[in-house]
Amino acid sequence: MHRTGLVLVIALIASGVAACDSSTLTTANTTATTTGAGAPTTTTATTATTVSGLSNSCVLFSRAQVAKALGQPVSTPLLGNATVEGGKACVYYGPTAEGHDPNVPTNDSVRVVVVQGADAPKWFDDYRSKVAAQPLPSASFGGPAYYDGYASLNILLSLTYIRIEVSPAIGAPSLNDAEKLYHELPFSR
């Protein structure tokens, strides 16, 4: 991503996160000053950005937002281990979900995973290498994104990896519903 694009993503995240009480933006900057034939030039490059304050994956969406994506009421979310990446899964269940083990994917549920920090790009790429990843336009998501070919939307926003899976009670998981849910986030608009 070009530096201008990264700055735009950071600005979008910052403006959206400001609207969300539970999160703040953490950015690590590197500043370099050079002198040459003219006046000194100072350049600040953003090297890492995460959405901090996300104590777990359950703070991204409200139950109402998740229920809208699934098309029916959902339970209070449960926090479990993510099945394919280094993070915690926040799992909401619809009324017909069988079993409520957040460590096991099931129909009639929504799973949301957030991985932050230096390992986020590694997990994003690792999962992409294991599935029939279908690239999605970065401009639509603020960063690299792909559909895993089966169930989940995967987005990388610098050092924050977000994975969303909307699995209806009947039928295949819905990329369209996962995209709509992602676009409920203030910084994704």
User: How far is the C-alpha of 169 from the C-alpha of 83, rounded, in Å?
Assistant: 20
What integer best gives the mean pLDDT of the chain?
75
Entry pTM: 0.72
User: How far is the C-alpha of 168 from the C-alpha of 152, rounded, in Å?
Assistant: 12
User: How far is the C-alpha of 12 from the C-alpha of 175, rounded, in Å?
Assistant: 23
- What's CA 146's distance to the chain center, in Å? 11
The tokens of 153 are what? 């939307």
> Any idea which of 22-26, 66-70, 84-88, 168-172 has the lowest mean pLDDT?
22-26
| Residue 51 reports pLDDT greater than 60 | no
User: How far is the C-alpha of 155 from the C-alpha of 62, rounded, in Å?
Assistant: 19
pLDDT digits (tens, 9 = 90+) for 22-40: 333 232 333 333 344 444 4
Amino acid of residue 179: E
> Any idea which of 9-13, 127-131, 177-181 has the lowest mean pLDDT?
9-13
The tokens of 57 are what? 């994956």
pLDDT at 189: 55
Q: For the chain, what is the largest distance between any 2 Cα atoms, rounded to a whole number of angstroms?
A: 71
Q: Is 180 helix (H, G, I), strand (E, B) or coil?
A: helix
The tokens of 178 are what? 């996962």
Amino acid of residue 122: K
| Residue 45 reports pLDDT greater than 50 | no
pLDDT digits (tens, 9 = 90+) for 87-111: 889 999 999 998 899 988 899 999 9
User: Look-up: residue for tokens 């609207």?
Assistant: 19
- What's CA 8's distance to the chain center, in Å? 17
Structural domains for the chain: 3-52 (no CATH), 57-188 (3.40.1000)
